[in-house]
Structure 1
Amino acid sequence: MGICKRAVLYLVRKKGKAALLFLIFFFVSAFLLICFSILSGTEQAARELRTNIGAAFYIRPYTQMTMEGGSLSVGTTPVITQQSIVEVIAATQGQVKAYNTEHYGYAKSEQLHFIPGAGDNEASNMGKVTAVRDSELTDVFLNEEYTLLAGRHIQPEDENKILISAELATENNLEVGDVLTLTHADLGQQDGKYIDTLPEKTAFAEVEIIGIFQYEGAADSADSPTAGKAANHIYSDSHLLVNLQEQQDGIFEGEIAFYIADPLELDFLLECVEAISSIDWDNHILRENDFQYEQIAGQLQNLQELAVALIVISSVLSIVILMLILMMRIRGRIHEAGIFLSVGKSKAQIIGQFTLEAWVLLFAGFLLALLMWLLCSNTANELLFGTLAQKRGTAALQTGGGGLNYLQPDLFRFILLFTAEAGAVLLTVLVASGAILRLKPKEILSRMS
């Protein structure tokens, strides 16, 4: 009778002992499958997170103020030029995925009645304009303080396109697609009254409303002028203020944002940017934003370390438990081994049978654990990694797929895991069978008597 048939007959005959060993293999395999899946999943999630959440750095010019002779002296307002932007992009060696510019001004229109603020009058009834390259990349939209209700965002190729608030649109019965004529303006004060310091209008631009947004946040202060109210805020493309003669083409006074794909490169890129000599860093601020990547990555790292610790602990405990059980079982089968030896079976055949029995139960336990993990991995993935999809970063630049199952079983990895478990079982069987390997056939038979 071959060892395969003997192994099957033994397992059928000793159902209780076989069931116990099967359950041990099932729980050990299930636990290791979960731990290795989490270990692999956190690595994949970290890579996906870095691509999705991205990072940004910002360059903001600021006006220097000095105290001379007891009086405050205000310096000239520094600017950032398009040439400086080109140099920054070149210094980052292609790491910048997109950038956004900001410039500020004012505008009014005979077709627009702005929501009145403090001291509102005909001259001061105007709105503040923020001219941007891409409105979707502004902080208020990235942070979801503003939400686009209708239409689309401003894109770099747009000219004379604007976004207005839902409140301003309702006040003036406006909707996406309407065309207005805007003119330049500038808010000032005279004798305690808000005025327009540009009373003579020489620059006009026809603009199209391409989007309407809803804003959320703190209420306007009671002393906010009309142009300072959030409802009167207008976002425009970067060409509008140039056309209204409030900005020079290619020169920006506002903050410039640069978005990169990999937060791990942020510190290195900041060093490269700070080395640009054409930017006067005495009156420019360079700040960074990793969109909470460090905090989220730290959570993933903790989960990964926990998985490694559990793998080590469970592997050691599993080997110890298996060794104890197999030693007890095999020592109880010395009599059986002696009979096999007396009929001419070799020690290799006897150990082979013991190993085959264990491998059959291991395969059954591993297969059941794998099937159960296939059914449960989606739920476990949602519990462990579901919040990653809610993390905000450069949402407009995200390229990674959403809703991924980071715990999806990897067939190749699990074959390696099964192979490792089978090897561990073989090792424990060999150690547990030490008495059979160590003693000579006569010694085993004499012990039987």
Structure 2
Amino acid sequence: MWKNAFAYVTRQKFKSLLLALIIMVMATLSLLSLSLRSAVKAAGRNNFKNITNSFSLQINRYYNQGTARGAGNIKGEDISKIEQSEYVASSTKRINAVGDLVDNEIIDIDPVSGRALETKEHFEKALMVTGVGDSEKETKFVGKTYVLTAGEHLKPTDKHQVLVHEELAKKNNWKIGDKFKLRSNIYDADNEKKAEETVEVTIKGFFSGKNKRAVTFAANYYANEIITDLTTAAAMYGYTPENALYQDATFFVRGEEDLDKVFSNLQKLSIDWRAYKLLKSADNFPALQASINGVNKISRNMGILSISLAMIILSLCLLIFLQARKREAAIKLALGMNKLQIVGQFFMELLLLATFALPAAYAVAWSIGDNMQKFILQQVNRGIQRQLLQAAAAGNLGGGAESDSFNQTLQTLTLNIGAQDVVPVLIGSIVVIVISLLLASYFILHKSPKELLSDVL
């Protein structure tokens, strides 16, 4: 049977080449579809590795507008109640503040026009100060808006330590281990106590990052933000970590507890839940999730479309080609072969073509896969960014690191076609071949040898 299959395939070169090409295209698109989903899954794990099974406590702006400047006003005692829950293994929290840079200079260059800025009166030296318990888990580092380039991340035990932007460090000739002073800004609306504290801090590391769009205020320029410990940030407003108001807090759940179940139980705590809301940490990156979902949707549609079209086209081609082989089928039936043997012969021919088409599909998928993934990701991200820009323009939103982190999309995908992709495509190709062949062989399976011969005479 194999010998006959090989003889027919090599004799009918055009038909064989066309059928092999159909199988190869289907297998190539299927491989690319599966590899794309694998790449997205791996990228998602990498991007969300620091927030898996965690959630955040944020203000509910529908009932709670936050501080005078719109920052979070979460009470430390409410955070402590959640920290003491049996479901929480660890936590990290943030304080947002404004502080003046003493005896040094902020970045005063407009990143859009390149002209010097006249910063608003009383804020000529103002920096955004973000206090964190663990900077590695801070939203902007998790979302890759900021990337640590030198030194070490801040730990919960650190006091009066800071991470500064490379550009700010370059302007002031700072190196790791250098010290500088921060002072409260009495004109900041959130400095309700009119604190006038001065704190000397030590540089523990540098980070990089670049604004994605124009900023409204100089303080929203990435280089004009410093990441520091909770003690330093709280001091800007005359508080301690114990009585300060927090921007938000992130909690890491024990084991594999279901977050919906955790939320349901936490609602029983004596906390004013109208003022706050619980949010799954992955939901803090909606643009990233939209990017992942968008690529997955294209991948899924590509797989369905490739299989459906291949089955239709292969069935039609086989129907045409097998019509021309009615006489051959009738003679074989007359010589004593049964119908399943004849269809089996056709299946062997297709299987022989598949043995050449599938390795070719694997090679083609590797050669074009990387560029295809980049193109799909670019198209998905372009659509998301267009929506974000429209929303920002409508809401007159600024371009600070916090909003850019919130709007971060998936940036890269790594092509990897492994056995987990090849095996399903191999099985799927055989299934498609069998179904297509059965559909095209209907006239053979349901006619007698006499009827087949009469059709060709």
Could you say which TM-score interval applies, normalised by the shorter chain?
0.5 to 0.7
Q: Which of 95, 100, 125 pairs up with 1:102?
A: 95
* RMSD of aligned alpha carbons: 5.3
Cα deviation digits, residues 47-78 of structure 1 (max 9, x gap): 3454344476451388979xxxxxxx9xxx95
Q: Is the 8 A contact 1:133 1:237 kept in 2?
A: yes
Matched, 1:404 2:400: no
Q: Which of 207, 213, 218 pairs up with 2:215?
A: 218
Indicate the SS of the match to 1:377.
Answer: helix
Listed as ranges, the gaps of 5+ residues in structure 1 are 66-72, 190-195
State the 1:402 CA deviation: 6.8
Distance 2:221 2:7 in 1: 86
Cα deviation digits, residues 206-263 of structure 1 (max 9, x gap): 5311234567553647xx9xxx9987654321133567893233344131143789xx
Distance 2:97 2:278 in 1: 20
- Mapping 1:291-310, distance limit 5 Å: 291-296=286-291, 297-310=293-306
Alignment correspondent of 1:415: 426
Distance 1:279 1:86 in 2: 8
Amino acid at match of 1:295: A
State the 1:126 CA deviation: 7.7
Matched, 1:311 2:321: no
Distance 1:24 1:426 in 2: 15
Q: Once structures 1 and 2 are overlaid, which stretch shifts more, 157-166 or 313-322?
A: 157-166
Matched, 1:364 2:376: no
For the pair shown, the structure with the greater C-alpha radius of gyration is: 1
Distance 1:101 1:333 in 2: 79
Q: Which of 381, 396, 418 pairs up with 2:373?
A: 381
Cα deviation digits, residues 270-301 of structure 1 (max 9, x gap): 95487253322344466753331453214522
Amino acid at match of 1:433: I
Q: TM-score, normalised by structure 2?
A: 0.64
- Mapping 1:91-240, distance limit 5 Å: 93=87, 99-104=92-97, 106=99, 112-113=103-104, 129-135=129-135, 138=138, 150-164=150-164, 169=169, 173-180=173-180, 182=181, 185=184, 187-188=186-187, 207-212=201-206, 216=211, 218=215, 220=217, 234-240=226-232
Alignment correspondent of 1:47: 41
State the 1:315 CA deviation: 0.9
Amino acid at match of 2:130: T
Amino acid at match of 2:284: N
Amino acid at match of 2:315: I
Q: TM-score, normalised by structure 1?
A: 0.65
Q: Is the 8 A contact 2:28 2:365 kept in 1?
A: yes
Alignment correspondent of 2:396: none
Listed as ranges, the gaps of 5+ residues in structure 2 are 107-117, 385-403
Distance 1:231 1:347 in 2: 77
Distance 2:448 2:216 in 1: 86
**CA 1:349/1:143 → structure 2, altered by over 3 Å: closer, same or farther?**
closer
Q: How many pairs are equivalent? A: 400
**CA 1:185/1:415 → structure 2, altered by over 3 Å: closer, same or farther?**
closer
Amino acid at match of 2:375: L
**CA 1:353/1:315 → structure 2, altered by over 3 Å: closer, same or farther?**
closer
Amino acid at match of 1:102: I
Cα deviation digits, residues 22-55 of structure 1 (max 9, x gap): 2232122123213432443454355345434447
**CA 1:153/1:159 → structure 2, altered by over 3 Å: closer, same or farther?**
same
